[in-house]
Amino acid sequence: MTDIKKEEEKSLNFLEEIVEEDLAAGKYKSILTRFPPEPNGYLHIGHSKSIVLNFGLAQKYGGKTNLRFDDTNPVTEDTEYVEGIKEDIRWLGFEWANEFYASDYFEQLYTFAEDLIRKGLAYVDDSSAEEIARMKGTPTEPGTDSPYRSRNMEENLQLFRDMRAGKYRDGEKVLRARVDMSAPNMQLRDPIMYRIKHAHHHRTGDSWCIYPMYDFAHGQSDSIEHITHSVCTLEFVPHRPLYDWFIEKLAIFPSHQYEFARLNMTYTVMSKRKLLQLVNEGYVTGWDDPRMPTISGLRRRGYTPESIRMFADKIGVAKRENLIDVSLLEFCVREHLNKIAARRMVVFDPLKIVLTNYGREEEMLPVEDNPEDPATTHRQVPFSRELYIEREDFMENPPKKFFRLSPGQKVRLKSAYIIQCEEVVKDETGKITELKCSYLPESKSGGTESNIKVQATIHWVSIVHAITAEVRLYDRLFRVEDPASEDGDFKEYINPDSLNVAVAYAEPALRKVKFNEHYQFLRKGYFYLDKDSSEDRLIFNRTSTLRDNWVKEQKKQ
């Protein structure tokens, strides 16, 4: 191993450095992190970065990770999402120490709020949302005090209890922290702690009509659970002083917040709100549409947990926002599938060939399942007189460097024989319908190879033995690099050709395909059985092509 390699292995990301310092200083016996999704949608690839980070950090340092549903907004949340999120985290390969819900802490949070009121650090404000916004000031001008800021403690306590009891309508009153209306950090200008919302909650039902805001739920939940390192994304940097303020004033367990850059990826939108629009407005078939950047979409498309974890490791943990090229994710899945996917032959756009000198009915040829695997198995593939090859593997008038089949030119059929094209048969419109070829019996693969050399090997299927399958070929869902930052609605930038469906002819071994099996269709890409399949109708999703064609395709246009 080289020194550079060793050096790389040793280098820690900034969060690992913090954790190591804290452990060395004896600040904690062990660390506790959390992953805190809001159950208002399915998880996307951005969340997987946070999952790998939070669970990975705890694993590395012998700590634990809680799963906490941040369910403080009754209107957008749903149990369907809770179940989906749990399935996705487990599929990624992680298990949480405890499953908690911020809503479990509603009573405790309420008590905290009364505590702050008693300490003169919170007050009930009757101002409207617009008035509160106006009095907030601007980053360069201080805010002005609300006329309700000086309400006395007893009155605040009574009003807050009345808020809880349901005496007021939505928006009539709020509870605010009494921090500093002239703080340069706008987050500290008396932030709202509670709002009134007469709405049904997916867990607490109708027991509450006041709900805590993010800033008064998140840090307190961290503290209740004794989270040591609360990792979130950079937009929460300005919230950190408030996070610390609440904990200090309540004198509760001192959890600490740390921030890292969220994952943004090219040709993708990465917000549940936007993904929900794609689902609701029918641009995709659901959250698990294989074109979606959701974990469930990637899984259905044939991504593996290993490939997503590899991706998360490669992008690392940074403190500055950036846009990651989606081809890095595609690279990771190819890397993994190349190792594990069984090879099969499937012809997408068939051209019939007849081997005029092949006298037998059929024979079975052994074909390697995975040349990348030292312990590869072999399957028996039927070979016969009439075969399909890809139409694009033949050219009647080939340019100089075309090494595949053309009149008079020889090519090898994968794991079978060398053939030569003798005659091109066309219909009345001039379309090629069939090729008459001869085969070289002595050229059988794996035998005492003849010394005839050919430049290319192509895949094939025996027509009588072939089974048909639907193949769904996906392209990027957006046609611009960063749809969310373009003018107008991001949906204007959807790629109209993100799905192409074709019927393909497959070797019969694929009849026995099972879910969870990954395949490489030779020269065509990686494929995975879709859940829409049935016994008599096989449907495959293309997980990815074999090489990165995107740049090449773009140049052609």
Catalytic residues: 38, 262, 272
Partner that binds at residue 178, options Mg ion, ligand ATP, none, CB closer than 5 to 8 Å by kind: none
CA distances from 138 to 134, 189, 411 (A): 9, 10, 73
Q: Residue 217: CA atoms inside 13 Å, Cβ hemisphere, count?
A: 24
Partner that binds at residue 328, options ligand ATP, Mg ion, none, CB closer than 5 to 8 Å by kind: none
**Cβ 67 to Mg ion, closest distance in Å?**
15
| Residue linked to tokens 């605040």 | 156
Partner that binds at residue 270, options Mg ion, ligand ATP, none, CB closer than 5 to 8 Å by kind: ligand ATP
Tell me the C-alpha distance between 539 and 525, whole Å. 15
Give the number of residues in contact with Mg ion, rule: CB under 5 A.
1
Helix (H) / strand (E) containing 299: helix 295-301
**Cβ 39 to ligand ATP, closest distance in Å?**
8
**Cβ 355 to ligand ATP, closest distance in Å?**
55
Q: Residue 495: CA atoms inside 13 Å, Cβ hemisphere, count?
A: 19
**Cβ 299 to Mg ion, closest distance in Å?**
22
Q: Which is nearer to ligand ATP, 222 or 330 (CB)?
A: 222
Q: Which is nearer to ligand ATP, 262 or 301 (CB)?
A: 262
Q: Which is nearer to ligand ATP, 49 or 309 (CB)?
A: 49
Terminal-residue alpha carbon distance, the chain: 46
CA distances from 208 to 72, 107, 162, 213 (A): 11, 10, 12, 14
Cβ-Cβ contacts under 8 Å for 423 (sequence gap 6 or more): 435, 436
Q: Contact, 64 vs 97, CB < 8 A?
A: yes
Partner that binds at residue 92, options ligand ATP, Mg ion, none, CB closer than 5 to 8 Å by kind: none
76 binds Mg ion (CB under 5 A): no
Residue 381: strand pairing partners: 365
Partner that binds at residue 217, options Mg ion, ligand ATP, none, CB closer than 5 to 8 Å by kind: none
Tell me the C-alpha distance between 461 and 506, whole Å. 7
16 binds Mg ion (CB under 5 A): no
Q: Where are the alpha helices (DSSP H) in 93-149?
A: 106-118, 129-135
**Cβ 427 to ligand ATP, closest distance in Å?**
54
Q: Which is nearer to ligand ATP, 71 or 125 (CB)?
A: 71
Site string for Mg ion, 26-65 (x = CB under 5 A): ------------x---------------------------
234 binds Mg ion (CB under 5 A): no
User: Among all residues, whose Cβ is closest to Mg ion?
Assistant: 38
Tell me the C-alpha distance between 287 and 177, whole Å. 38
Q: DSSP secondary-structure letter at 422?
A: E
Q: Contact, 148 vs 95, CB < 8 A?
A: no
**Cβ 8 to ligand ATP, closest distance in Å?**
23
Partner that binds at residue 262, options Mg ion, ligand ATP, none, CB closer than 5 to 8 Å by kind: ligand ATP
Strand order in the sheet with 174-177: 122-125, 174-177, 192-196, 210-212
Partner that binds at residue 232, options Mg ion, ligand ATP, none, CB closer than 5 to 8 Å by kind: ligand ATP
Tell me the C-alpha distance between 266 and 480, whole Å. 8
Partner that binds at residue 498, options Mg ion, ligand ATP, none, CB closer than 5 to 8 Å by kind: none
Helix (H) / strand (E) containing 298: helix 295-301
Cβ-Cβ contacts under 8 Å for 210 (sequence gap 6 or more): 110, 163, 164, 175, 194, 195, 196, 197
Q: Is 91 helix (H, G, I), strand (E, B) or coil?
A: helix
Q: Contact, 405 vs 389, CB < 8 A?
A: yes
Q: Which is nearer to Mg ion, 47 or 459 (CB)?
A: 47
Q: Which is nearer to Mg ion, 157 or 484 (CB)?
A: 484
Partner that binds at residue 306, options ligand ATP, Mg ion, none, CB closer than 5 to 8 Å by kind: none
User: Among all residues, whose Cβ is closest to ligand ATP?
Assistant: 46
Partner that binds at residue 272, options ligand ATP, Mg ion, none, CB closer than 5 to 8 Å by kind: ligand ATP
Q: Which is nearer to ligand ATP, 318 or 354 (CB)?
A: 318
User: Phi then psi for 67, rounded to 5 degrees?
Assistant: -100, 120
**Cβ 235 to ligand ATP, closest distance in Å?**
8
Site string for Mg ion, 83-102 (x = CB under 5 A): --------------------
Tell me the C-alpha distance between 25 and 99, whole Å. 29
Helix (H) / strand (E) containing 242: helix 240-250
Q: Contact, 458 vs 413, CB < 8 A?
A: yes
**Cβ 38 to Mg ion, closest distance in Å?**
4
C-alpha radius of gyration, the chain, whole number = 31
Among residues 36, 12, 41, 38, which one has the least CA distance to residue 24? 12
Q: Which is nearer to Mg ion, 38 or 349 (CB)?
A: 38
Q: Which is nearer to Mg ion, 38 or 368 (CB)?
A: 38
What letter represents residue 296's amino acid?
A: S
Q: Which is nearer to ligand ATP, 40 or 59 (CB)?
A: 40
Q: Is 17 helix (H, G, I), strand (E, B) or coil?
A: helix
CA-CA-CA-CA torsion sign (391, 523, 367, 516): negative
Dihedral over alpha carbons 271, 275, 281, 286 (to 10 degrees): -160
**Cβ 71 to ligand ATP, closest distance in Å?**
10
Which residues in this chain contact ligand ATP in the complex, by CB under 6 A? 36-38, 46-47, 49-50, 70, 232-233, 262-263, 270-272
**Cβ 212 to Mg ion, closest distance in Å?**
14
Residues that bind Mg ion (CB under 5 A): 38
